Structures are given as structure tokens and as C-alpha cells.
Chain A
Amino acid sequence: MYRQCFRLFLFAVCLCSASVAGRAEAESKRVLLLYAERAELPAIRAIDVGLREALVERGGVEVFAEYFDFARFPAEQHSGGLINLLRDRYGARKLDLVIPAGNGALRFALEHRRELFPDAAIVFCAIERRQAENESLPADVSGILLTYDFRRTVELALKLQPELREAVCVFGTGDFDRQVGEDALAALALHPELRVRRVDTVPYAQIIEQVRRLPPGTMVLYGSILRDSAGLTRVAADVAEDLSAASSVPVYGVAAHHLERGVLGGAMLDYAAHGRAIGAMVVARLNGQTPAPREAASNPLLINWNALKKWRVPASRIPAEAIVRFRPPSIWQERRGMIISVLALVVIQSALIAGLLLNRATRRRAERSLAESEQRIGLAAEAAHLGMWVWEVSGDDLWMTEQGRALFGFQPDARIDRAALLDRVHPEDRVAREGAIKRALETQGEYEMEYRIQSSDGAVSWVSARGRCLRSANGKDAKLLGVSMDVTTRKQAELEAAEQREELGHLSRVALVGEMATSLAHELNQPLTAIVTNAGAAQRFIARGAMEAGELREMLADIIADGRRAGEVIRSIKGMVRRVESERRPLDVNEIVSNVLRLVRADALAHGCALATELDSALPPVLGDAVQLQQVLLNLIINAFDAMRKAPCDPCRVEIASRSLDAKTVEVSVRDFGPGLPVDAPLRVFERFYSTKGDGMGMGLAIARSIVEAHGGTLGAENAQDGGARFWFRIPAQASPPEEARV
């Protein structure tokens, strides 16, 4: 933390000292501009502006400027006065850099450098290339050399006016004018097809007059007139304007600032750009670098759009590299921002409108599809005889479709509430229905139940209802919504099917018992015989007077026991043949086995079969119908007897076993030592009307299977390892263990 602060502090100190030092250095720079001509000349002005831009940008430079106006006051006439003036002005000031602009200024500066500013560096400007070749420049003098590019200007003219046959070359009589004029004539000379007319000796007014009537196929090439043939001083740019205004043919020039005065164009020297370039060089020099003198980049081809139009030069002739100036800006250029804004607005608005239209279409479609969907649901509900309803719990208001109202027997406009609906529910089903609704509300879950409704005339119909509890976000307003349908027909069919199933089961049990009738008779006859015999014996003892009380008591006890035994057999038979409604109770499977064994014992004897049992004493209870399960076991055992009867058996034994496969399943198996199941179709025995017995109907096992499956179990058969078949049924143990087991 402290270290970081210290670092920041150091950094800040460095920054401050750097800026202080920079400022001190910048303040010490003094630059003197020496212009050969007067300040108002456009070229001078342009250079001055460019130069000062660069120096101001650098900052910390004190700029002084002197305008010698050599065109009007030649140097040789009053250089002494100039020297004195400069010495007076700058003798006490240490100049760092002197910038002579123009030939005369450069020559003056070099001549009087020692006495006037011995320590200042010199960067020249506005020096034409050919002039520089004539001078011998010291090594520490640098600058950028200029070119008046008449050659490329003439080439441009030939491109814009392919019909060109004659060129009028205009230049003045000043030193600079003549130099420029020579360059222009030299460039024209490169094109011998052009007839060249020079007007340097023609009075200025006449020149203007002449150019007014020039025929097509002619050009005016303007160099510079600082002094006309009459010795009159002129501003070159003004001349350019006069020429352009008067001329019937295009006027070409080489100075960029002439373009705005009406000249058509040319490879033009841009004094402002030159000034900026020199400025950059001066700044470099002030900063301690020494750039070598260099030439300016080639002058750009500039074209004045207005002049082009005026002299009817087709714009298609403009070369690709030319820069067109003063072209009226296109609407796009002029109002770009606005156009973009307007366009954007239009686009946004269009998008908005499109969005709204789309939205409307979507909504309409949604509305339409909602309506269709509602209609479809309505149709489907109607077709399915579904009554839809929503019950607002807090307001106790029950909304119901017409179908629903018809189902419950409500008038179409009657208000329905919970009590009104409950009134229609069959009294026996009311509690269960209320419970189901309560559960659905409490758990916010589903509501599903089947119940009866009773109309005022006592007719009962069955309703299947399914619903779901919905609760609003705040959890207060619960509603129950769902559908109800009349399932009376299905219910009746189910009940009939159940009845038929029970009837079939009953008939098959009766048939089973019938099959065993003689065996059962024996089973009954045993106790009856014992009773009769005991009674007979007692009579005889009494007749002989030899009846002892103890003996009599014993005999009577035996008689009672045998009577009970007979009663049990009869009860077993009755249990089997009785037509009872199926009822599920927790059952001890071993008890079922014992009951059945009582019934089949006699039959086993009749078949000469031994019965062996292996019962697991720790079986979990199963939930089932005792009579039906006994029927299943009876069936399996009798089948086993029959199997043993068909073939000689060894041993003649039927083994009955109970066991729990896991805590969840109880298995009872019957194993015989008969011929076993047919190898090719071991499980065909379970099909209806399939019988291997000559006298069998083939229903026994099929019914047994349906009983076992109704108990959620399976009935199976397999061939046992040492011969014979093993039939078994497995039933799930009662789901919840008894209380004792849980503790």
C-alpha cells in the first residue's frame, strides 16, 4: 500500500519536472521568417498560414516576420537599410532559426547570415528547383524545393481538350515571371502539334481582349504576371482571375491558389501545403534534427469544376488521378447526416409499422387459432361427452360447460356450488369424493376418481372425473379445473365382465368340487363312520351295563371332534362352491394350502398319490381372496393327480411347497412325478380349451391364471429336474408390513 503510493508520487514528480523542462526549452526558440515579397500576395499568404500552423502546433516558438517586397524594392538598392533594420530588431535577440521564403530572401539571408544571425539555422522555402541548382547551398541549409510542373499541366490540357491546336502562353516581365514563362514554353515545346503564341510583350489590356475571342481548340497557359509589359506590378492571382473571366477557352495554371480565381486546372503547386511541409521541417530542426533538402512531392492535378462547366469541357474527360474542386456537393455529401437520419427514421417507422402489422396479424391468427382451438376442444369435449369445469374454491363457484351441466342434471343458467354438486353424488360415494378433492387441494396435485351420481328420479350413472389444482401466485385463490365424463356404459360393462368372470370362476370351482365328489364323500364318511361307530359302541356298553363314565366322556369327546371335522369338510366344500363376491384380505398362504389339502387328501388316496408338503412357516401375508387362491391351488393339485394317473409314476407323490422368494413375493408350488409338460409347448397348458386330459374342458388353468394375475401375480410351469412337472404361482406380499413387523 505505502510502496504503491510512493511509486505514484515518484511518477508525478517525474511528470512535473519533464513538463517544466519542456516549457523552458520551448520558450527559448525564436524563429524569423524572411519573405522576399509583400505579405498580401496570395502565395506568400498561403505559405505563411501553413508555416505558422506547424509552429503553433509545436508551441513554444516566438515567430517574427519580415516582408522585403523585392519586386517593388529590389535588394541591391537598399540592402544596407534592411541590414540595419534587421540588426536593430534582432541583434539583441538570439535567433534559433531563419526561414527565407523566395529566391531573394534566401540569397539575402545567406549573404548576411554572419553579421545578422550567426547562430541561427536556415530552412528555406518557396525556392524553385532550377534556382536552387544555380545556388551553392551550405550543408546546414535545408528546405524543400518547388517545381512548377507545366509539362503535366499541358498533358492535362490535352486530355481535357483533345481538339487542342493552339496554346496562348501568358506570363509577365518580372524575374520570377520570366523564369516561369520559360518553363511553360519548354513544356509546350514538347508538343509540336501545338501552335504556341506568347503574349509577354502585349499590353495587359490587350491580352485580356485577345483571350476573349480565342477559337475553340485553343488553351491559355498562365504562368505568372507580377509585372506586366508596361512595368506595372500586378498580383499573379488577380491576373489569373482576369484571364479566366475573359477567356473564351480554358485557362490552365500551375498555382493551386489560382484555381479559386477561375483557372480550369493544372498540375498545381499548393503553397499552403508547402508552408505546412516547411513548418514540419522547421519544427524538426528546432527539435535538434537536421533534415536534408528535398523536393516536394509531385504537384497534384487540380480541376475547377465550375470552370469545367463554364468552358463546357465534358467531365468524362477528367483523368482518374485529378482532384476536382468546387464541385457543388451532392445532396448526399451536403446533407449526409440529415439523409441518414431521415432514412433511419423511415426505416424505423417502416419497421414499426411492419411490426405492428405483423403483431396484429399474429394476434389475429392467435385469436383465430384460439377460437379454433376452443371450438375444437369444445367439439372434442362434446364428442367425447366430456364436461369441463372450473371450481373457484374461495368463491365456491363452479363453472361448467353445457355438457357437464347435462351430465349432472343442472339447468344451463343455474348457479352451481360445491353443495349443489355434492347433492347429486351418490350418498355412498360422497365421503370418498370429498376426500379426493381435499387431497388435491392440499397437495396441489391431481384429482382423479370415479363415482356415482344419482338423479332425482333415482337413476344412477357413473362419472369419471379428472382434475388438477391450480393456485394463483399469491397462493390464496386456489381453483380446481378438470373434466368429467359419463362412464356408465363402461362401468356396466366392467361390472358385467367381473360378474361373468366370477360366474366362470364359480362354475369352474363347482366343476372341480364335482370332480372330487367321491373323494370328498370319503372325507366326510370318515368322521361320520367314527361317529356312528362310537355311538353304536356306547349303546352296547350301556346295554351290557359296562359303561364307565370316563370311557363315555372320551367317546362323546371323540364324537364331537369327528362331528366338527365333518363340518369343516362341508365348510370347505361350501367355500369352494359358494358364489361369493371377491374380497381381498390379508391371508396366510400356508392356511390356504392346509385348507386345500383337507379337500384333496381323499382324492390323493383315490389316485394312490402321496401328498408331501414343505411349508415355510415365516411367510409374509398376501392380500387376496382366499376362495380364489384355494381354487388355483386345488386346480394345480388335481392336475398333478391327473398327470400321475396317466402314466406309471415313481414315486407316486405330489409335493406342495410354499416359500417366500424375497420379502415381496410368496410362491406356492405343486410338483408331480408324472410325464411332465409337453416339451414342444410347455406353456400351452395355460391356454383356454387346451387340455391334455381326455375329459378336461381346458378351462381350469386358464381361469387359475386369470385369478393369479388379478392378484398381481404370475402362474408358471416348468418340467422338474428329476421328471414330472412343477407348477407354481407367485403373488406379491402385502405392501405394508403388519404393525408388529414394523416395530
Chain B
Amino acid sequence: MSAPDKIVFIVDDDASVRKSLLRLFRSAGFRAEAFASARAYLDRAAHDGPSCLVLDVQMPEVTGLDLQRALAESGREEQVIFMTGKGDIPMCAKAMKAGAADFLPKPFDDAELLAAVERALVRSSEDRLRLAGQTEARARIAALSPREFQVFEGVIAGKMSKEIAADLGTALKTVKVQRGRVMEKMRVSSVADLVKMAQQAGAMPPAGS
């Protein structure tokens, strides 16, 4: 059903909850790994593949929210499904704002949890794809020469070649040659594709500049 490289991580200080969750994910065909504390989880090397984290909010020392924050800070963006014994709204809002995938009050329906995990894993795959595209786009942008980058910036800003030449103070002919080289390096055939690539890389310049 699912790709073998998908994995569900569980962090809960309650052993019996941990144990039951492992069983549940196994019964649903997921690969799962459980940790008794946030620290133990952080010690594990990041998984290369779609994954999600089923995290208990209330834990001694490092809480679920602390862990979420730590992951974000270290660039390990995870699909986090929070479990909480007490469904208090402020905490829930805080978690969601911080990018939580889901928030489940204990005790939850097993199907509900599994659905949330499915969703999170899909999102994780998408994230991974998006991340891969961005990396590629950024690599291509990084390959541009400074002058080419200036021309690239002008093109994605919707400027005509003549305008760009005026801005840069060079001949129109030179700009046209450089523009052709940018399209080639960025491996796009149209301005629309170039703009899309720029968006993927997250390098869209502020409008109007």
C-alpha cells in the first residue's frame, strides 16, 4: 500500500501508550518507531523519506511543543500529529500555528489516528517533492553568472530586454545573448516556466523593484 521508506515516529513517555501505538501502526502496515522522550527522538538521525511524528504534548522535561520548536529550528520539518490528554484550546492553537499536521485528543479513535497519519505522510511526500524541486531550481540559479542573474531577475520581473539593457547600461544585443544563456542554464523554454522555477526556488523578487 505504502512505500516502504515511509515511517511513523512515536514520542510518548507512557510505555503502554507507546506499545499500543506501535501495534496499531504495524496492524495498519506502517513502519513505526517509538521513543520515550523528545531527547531520544532528537538523537536519532533524520529519516530520508516521508515520515510523520505522533507526539504526546505532555511529557516531562521536554514537552511536545518544545520538540516541535526544536525540529523547526534545526530545519527538520516534520508532519507532527499531536496527542493530548487534555484538549485545551490554547495549546492546540499554538501547536497548529507552529505547523502541526493534526491535533488529536486522547483517547482517540484508531481510524482517526491512522487517517491523520496517512494524510501527514502524503503531505510529507509532497513536501519532499517540493523540497527536491526547490533544491534543483536553486542549484540552477546558483549556476548563473552575476550578470546572467541580473538579467534573470529582470526577466522574472516581467521586463522587456530593452528595459533590462537600459537598466544595466549595456547594449540590447548583449542582453539578448545573456537572456538566451539564462534560459539554457535554467533549462526552461518559456518565460512562464522561468517564473515558475524562480517561485520554486523561493527567489521571487519583491514586486515593483
Contact = CB atoms under 8 A, between A and B. Distances in A.
Interface in B103-162: 105-111, 113
B110 A533 contact: yes
Given A522-B86, A537-B24, A540-B28, A605 B58 contact: yes
Interface string A523-552: 101111111111111111100101000010
Interface stretch (A157-165, A201-209, A554-562): A554-562
B58 to A, nearest CB: 4
Contacts of B17: 526, 529-530, 533
B23 A606 contact: no
Interface stretch (B59-67, B68-76, B187-195): B59-67
Interface string A143-172: 000000000000000000000000000000
A535 B111 CA distance: 12
B209 interface: no
Name the interface size band of chain B: 20 to 34
Nearest to A532: B107
A532 B111 CA distance: 11
Contact of A523 (B83, B85, B111): B85
A610 interface: yes
A561 B106 contact: no
Given A522-B85, A523-B85, A602-B58, A534 B107 contact: no
B143 to A, nearest CB: 49
B20 A533 contact: yes
B60 to A, nearest CB: 6
A521 interface: yes
B14 A540 contact: no
A727 B16 CA distance: 34
B21 A533 contact: yes
A534 B17 CA distance: 9
Contacts of A562: 16
Contacts of A610: 60-61
Nearest to B15: A530
A605 B61 CA distance: 8
Interface string A499-534: 000000000000000000011011101111111111
Interface in B13-41: 14, 16-17, 19-21, 23-24, 26-28
A712 interface: no
Given A537-B24, A558-B19, A532 B86 contact: no
- Interface residues of chain A: helix, strand, loop or mixed (majority): helix
Contact of B58 (A531, A551, A606): A606
A605 B14 CA distance: 12
Contacts of B88: 518
A546 B27 CA distance: 8
Contacts of B84: 522
Given A558-B20, A610-B60, A530 B27 contact: no
A526 B20 contact: no
A608 interface: yes
Most chain-B Cβ atoms within 10 A of its Cβ — which of A530, A555, A562?
Answer: A530
Contact of A525 (B85, B110, B113): B85
A562 B58 CA distance: 19
Interface string A547-578: 00001000100100110010000000000000
A555 B23 contact: yes
B115 to A, nearest CB: 12
Given A522-B85, A526-B85, A540-B28, A532 B109 contact: yes
Contacts of A544: 27
Given A526-B106, A537-B23, A605 B111 contact: no
A179 B55 CA distance: 169
Given A536-B110, A602-B85, A530 B60 contact: no
Nearest to B61: A610
Nearest to B25: A537
Contact of A532 (B59, B61, B63, B110): B110
B38 to A, nearest CB: 13
A178 to B, nearest CB: 159
A235 to B, nearest CB: 154
B18 to A, nearest CB: 9
A525 B17 CA distance: 10
A558 B86 contact: no
Nearest to B13: A605
Contacts of B27: 536-541, 544, 546
B63 A530 contact: no
Nearest to A547: B27
A530 B59 contact: no
A525 B59 contact: no
B86 A518 contact: yes
Nearest to A651: B61
Contacts of A528: 106-107
Most chain-A Cβ atoms within 10 A of its Cβ — which of B14, B24, B27, B107?
Answer: B27
A605 B62 CA distance: 10
A209 to B, nearest CB: 162
Contacts of A523: 85
Contacts of B20: 529-531, 533-534, 537, 555, 558
Contacts of A604: 60
28 contacts: A523-B85, A525-B85, A527-B16, A529-B17, A529-B20, A529-B108, A530-B19, A531-B107, A533-B17, A533-B107, A533-B110, A534-B24, A535-B110, A537-B24, A538-B27, A540-B24, A540-B27, A540-B110, A541-B27, A551-B23, A555-B23, A558-B20, A562-B16, A602-B85, A604-B60, A605-B58, A605-B59, A610-B60
Given A522-B106, A533-B24, A539-B27, 5 more contacts: A519-B86, A532-B107, A532-B108, A537-B26, A555-B20
Task: Give 8 nearest A-B pairs by CB, closest first.
Answer: A536-B110, A522-B85, A540-B27, A533-B20, A537-B23, A525-B106, A537-B24, A529-B107
